[in-house]
Amino acid sequence: MFSKILIANRGEIACRVIKTAQRLGIKTVAVYSDADLGARHVAMADEAVHIGPPAARESYLLGDRIIEAARRTGAQAIHPGYGFLSENAGFAEACAAAGVVFIGPPPAAIRAMGSKSEAKKIMEKARVPLVPGYHGDDQSPDVLAKEAVRIGFPVLIKASAGGGGKGMRVVESAARFADALAGAKREAKAAFADDHVLVEKYLTRPRHIEIQVFADAASCLYLFERDCSIQRRHQKVIEEAPAPDMDPARRKAMGEAAVAAAQAIGYRGAGTVEFIADQDGTFFFMEMNTRLQVEHPVTEAITGQDLVEWQLVVAAGGVMPRRQDELRIDGHAVEVRLYAEDPARNFLPSTGTLVHLKLPEEGPHVRVDTGVRQGDTVTPYYDPMIAKVIVHDRDRVSALRRMAVLMGETEVVGVTTNAGLLKALCSHPAFVGGEIDTGFIERHRETLFAAMTPADDHAFAIATLARLVEWQEAAGDVARASDDPWSPWNAQNGFRLLDEGHDEVRWKDGERDVAVVVRRLRGGGLRLELPVGTLDAAVQRADDGRLAMRLGDETFVATVVRRAANDGGIDYTLFADGRSRRLRLVDPLDVTQYEATASDETAVRAPLPGKIIDLRVKAGDAVSKGQPLLVLEAMKMEHTLVAPFDATIKSVRYAVGEQVAEGAELVEFEAAG
C-alpha cells in the first residue's frame, strides 16, 4: 500500500479522499490555487502545494505542475478525484513516465471512453444496447442536420469529449437545430477543447440509471445500480440506490452489460456505465465515466464498501476486497447535491461568502461530504456545490422522509441555495410514489416552486421580533456602560409622548413593502400589527443564540441571521419550521431605498461574474422581447441573456473574451421616447 498520495483536486472530493487515506494511515498532499489558499481540503491534508492562479486552466488543469508537486513531496501516487484531470489519458501517461502511480484506469481505457462516438462503436461490437443516433466523424452542420432528421425529432446533441451537461442541447425541431448545434459546439470547445458532437434520439420520459463497476487485474464486477433521473439543466440533483422498481432480472442484465462494457476496454479501477432507460424497461448505453462519480456514496451506503479504499488497493497492485457473490444490497440510500444556485432564476449559480452555514449532523443514517466551512467563499471559478448530503435508511420512503427533514433544517446565508427545492422534491407525493424521469422537475415546476412564495405574516413577525431583540440588547449595552443606567434615555419600552409605547419596523420582500408595528402591552407582552391582523407575541434569546418565540398559540425556535448586502442594504435571513425566507430591512433614513433607478430599466446587467463568449447584437440593432443578446460563461456553464422588452440597442459595453463583474451593465437600451 502507498505511504503518501497527492490529491489532484479540490473541494468535497479532495476532502472525501483524504478521510479514507487518514483511516488507512496514508499521508496526503493537497494542491491549491490562489482562490483555495484557506480551503478545507488544504487544512485537512498533511501537506499542501500551491499550483497557480484561480482559473482551473492555470492551476488544477496543469498536469506537469501537479506531477512536479508529487515528486517534490515524495507522493507515490496521484488520486485525480473527478473532473479536472480525472479522465485525461495524457495526464495518466505523464504520471507513469514520472514514476508516479495514477489512481485510475489505464490510459487506453480512458481514451476508448473519452470519445462518446468511439465508445459507441466499441459498445456496438461488445453487443451493449445503443440509443439510435449518429456518432460519425463528419461534423459538418449539413450532415449533422440531415442525421437529426433521419433519427427523428426530438434529438439530443451531446459533446463527444465530456459530460456534466456541458455541450448538450435538446432540439425539438429542425428549425432550431442550427442554433442549438452552434451553442453545443461552442460550449464543448470551451469545456473540453474539443467541439466534436454526436446526435441521438431523445427519449421523452427517460430514466437515467447507471451501474457502478470495478475491476482489478483478474476480474470485473458490478456494485449494483443508481438512479440519477432527477436533474436540472442535464445535471444531477438527486441520486438514489438501488433504483426504484428494479427487478432482479433487469438488475442482472444491466450489471452484466456494464461489466461487458468495462471488459471490452481492459478496464481497471472504479468506473460507471451510464444507461438511459425507457418506461417499458428497455435500456441503452449512454457513456462510461472512467473515474469515481460524485454520487458514489449511495453505492457505498447500500453495500457497506469504501470505493476509495478499493481504488487505493487496486492501484497498489492488490485485488478487490469482495467477489460478486459476496455483495448484498442493504436498505436504501438517497443523495442530494446542495448547490449555491437560485432555482427561481433558472438555477443561476450564486457566489458569495458563507456567513452562516449549518449542515446536517452526521450520524448512523446521515453522511455529509463537503469542501467548505462557515466563512469560506463560493467563487465563480469552480462548481458551486456546497455539500452532498447522503441518507441511508431501511427503505426508500423512510430515506426520503428523513432527507426532507434535513433539508428543512439546513441553514445557509451568504448565497442562495436549492435547499428548499430539495426538500420539496424529497416530499413530493409523485416522486415519493415512484414517478421518476429526467423531466420531473420541469413537469412539476409549479408545485415544486410553490414553496418559494412571498413571505407570509409569520416571516414578517419573526424578522420584526429579531430586530426588537437587537434593539433591546444594544440598549442594554448602552445602559450598562452609562453613568446612570436608570436614565429614561436608556429605557427599552418604545416610549411615545401621548401614545402607548410602540415601534415600527419596515421590510421589503421583493417589490412588496410591509410595515409591522410592535406595541408593548401593560402586562409586559407584545402585540404585532401585521398586514392581515394582530398577533400577540413574546421572544427571548436562547443559550445557543437562536430566538425562542411565541406567536399566538404557537411556540418555536428560529435562527435569524443579519447580513450586510453588497448594495449596502441589510438582509435578514430567517430559518424556522423547516422553511427559510430573506427580507430586506427598510431604513427610513436612507432615501436611496425609495428612489427608482432608471438604469435598471434601460440596461441588461451581469447576473454573476463571468466572461463574455458570444455577442448577438450591436449598437443600433432593434430587438424584441426574449431575443438573445449575448452569452455569458460562468461557473463552467453558459448563460444566455435576453432582451427584457422590445427596444433599440444604444451600446454594448463589453467585447467577446472580456471578464465582467456581477451587476456590470452589459447592454444599454435607448430610452423610451
* Per-residue pLDDT reduced to its tens digit, 611-631: 899 999 999 999 998 888 998
406 and 286, same domain (yes or no): yes
- pLDDT-derived band at 495, boundaries 50, 70, 90: low
User: Which residues are bridge partners to 504 per DSSP?
Assistant: 517
Region 270-280 average pLDDT:
91
443: in domain: no
Please check the confidence at residue 645 and state whether its pLDDT lies above 70.
yes
| Per-residue model confidence (pLDDT) at position 569 | 81
Q: Which of 153, 182, 201 is the last residue of a domain?
A: 201
The secondary structure element, H or E, covering residue 51 is strand 47-52
Region 466-493 average pLDDT:
75
Q: What is the pTM of this model?
A: 0.81
User: Which residues are bridge partners to 571 per DSSP?
Assistant: 563, 584
- Residues 430-452 as b or e (16 or more Cβ within 10 Å = b): ebeeeebbbebbeebeeebeeee
Please check the confidence at residue 499 and state whether its pLDDT lies above 60.
no
CATH of residue 522's domain is 3.30.700
122: in domain: no
343 and 194, same domain (yes or no): no
Tell me which of 191 and 369 has the higher pLDDT. 369
Task: Provide the mean pLDDT of the chain.
Answer: 90
Q: Percentage of the chain with pLDDT > 90?
A: 69
**In angstroms, how far is the first alpha carbon of the chain from the final one?**
75
22: in domain: yes
Nearest CA to 360 out of 578, 542, 633, 53 is that of 578
Tell me which of 286 and 334 has the higher pLDDT. 334
Residue 377 CB contacts under 8 Å (≥ 6 apart), including other chains: 351, 352, 353, 354
586 and 603, same domain (yes or no): no
| Per-residue model confidence (pLDDT) at position 190 | 82
Q: ∠ CA(447), CA(453), CA(455), 5° rounding? A: 155
- pLDDT-derived band at 451, boundaries 50, 70, 90: low
234 and 380, same domain (yes or no): yes
Query: What does the pLDDT look like over 15-66, one tens digit per residue?
Result: 999 999 999 999 999 999 999 999 999 999 999 999 999 999 999 999 999 9
Cα 241 from Cα 236, distance rounded (Å): 14
- pLDDT-derived band at 652, boundaries 50, 70, 90: very high
352-353 and 366-370: which strand pairing? unpaired
Specify whether the CB–CB gap between 192 and 175 falls below 8 A. no
| Per-residue model confidence (pLDDT) at position 595 | 38
Please check the confidence at residue 101 and state whether its pLDDT lies above 90.
yes
Specify whether the CB–CB gap between 572 and 463 falls below 8 A. yes
- Locus of grid cell 436498505: 331
Order of all β-strands in the sheet with 168-171? 133-134, 197-201, 155-159, 168-171
Q: Which of 201, 233, 253 is the last residue of a domain?
A: 201
The secondary structure element, H or E, covering residue 396 is helix 396-409
Segment among 475-479, 490-494, 524-528 with least mean pLDDT: 490-494
Tell me which of 191 and 158 has the higher pLDDT. 158
Cα 42 from Cα 39, distance rounded (Å): 5
| Per-residue model confidence (pLDDT) at position 457 | 85
450: in domain: no
| Per-residue model confidence (pLDDT) at position 49 | 98
- Angle between helix axes 89-97 and 63-73 (nearest 10 degrees) is 30
272 and 394, same domain (yes or no): yes
| Per-residue model confidence (pLDDT) at position 490 | 61
59: in domain: yes
Instruction: Specify whether 291 is catalytic.
Output: yes
Region 453-457 average pLDDT:
74
| Per-residue model confidence (pLDDT) at position 609 | 83
| Per-residue model confidence (pLDDT) at position 118 | 83
Q: Percentage of the chain with pLDDT > 70?
A: 94
Among 10, 207, 268, 291, the active-site one is 291
Specify whether the CB–CB gap between 353 and 414 falls below 8 A. yes
Region 365-380 average pLDDT:
96
571 and 602, same domain (yes or no): no
Tell me which of 371 and 673 has the higher pLDDT. 371
392 and 307, same domain (yes or no): yes
Region 289-302 average pLDDT:
97
Specify whether the CB–CB gap between 402 and 393 falls below 8 A. yes
Cα 16 from Cα 10, distance rounded (Å): 10
- Residue 184, domain extent: 132-201
The secondary structure element, H or E, covering residue 178 is helix 177-192
Specify whether the CB–CB gap between 501 and 520 falls below 8 A. yes
254 and 327, same domain (yes or no): yes
188 and 212, same domain (yes or no): no
| Per-residue model confidence (pLDDT) at position 455 | 72
192 and 287, same domain (yes or no): no
Cα 144 from Cα 161, distance rounded (Å): 17
Please check the confidence at residue 129 and state whether its pLDDT lies above 80.
yes
Q: What are phi and psi of 44, to 5 degrees?
A: -75, -30
Question: Phi/psi class of residue 42: alpha, beta or left (left: φ > 0; alpha: ψ in -120 to 50)?
Answer: alpha
Q: What is the dihedral of CA 380, 383, 385, 386, to 10 degrees?
A: -50
Q: In the chain, how many H helices and how many E strands?
A: 17, 39
Please check the confidence at residue 136 and state whether its pLDDT lies above 90.
no
Q: What are phi and psi of 26, to 5 degrees?
A: -100, 130
Cα separations in angstroms, 554 against 539, 557, 561, 572, 659: 12, 10, 21, 22, 50
> Where in 461-602 does DSSP place strands (E)?
502-509, 512-520, 526-530, 533-541, 547-551, 554-564, 570-576, 579-586
CATH of residue 643's domain is 2.40.50.100
Please check the confidence at residue 639 and state whether its pLDDT lies above 50.
yes
- Locus of grid cell 443508481: 226
Cα 214 from Cα 218, distance rounded (Å): 11
Nearest CA to 590 out of 617, 565, 613, 573 is that of 565
582 and 632, same domain (yes or no): no
Please check the confidence at residue 491 and state whether its pLDDT lies above 70.
no
Q: Which of 557, 591, 625 is the last residue of a domain?
A: 591
119: in domain: no
431: in domain: no
218: in domain: yes
Query: 588: which DSSP letter?
Result: T
Specify whether the CB–CB gap between 380 and 635 falls below 8 A. yes
CATH of residue 69's domain is 3.40.50.20
568 and 644, same domain (yes or no): no
- pLDDT-derived band at 601, boundaries 50, 70, 90: low
Say how many domains are in the chain: 5
Nearest CA to 504 out of 472, 464, 541 is that of 464
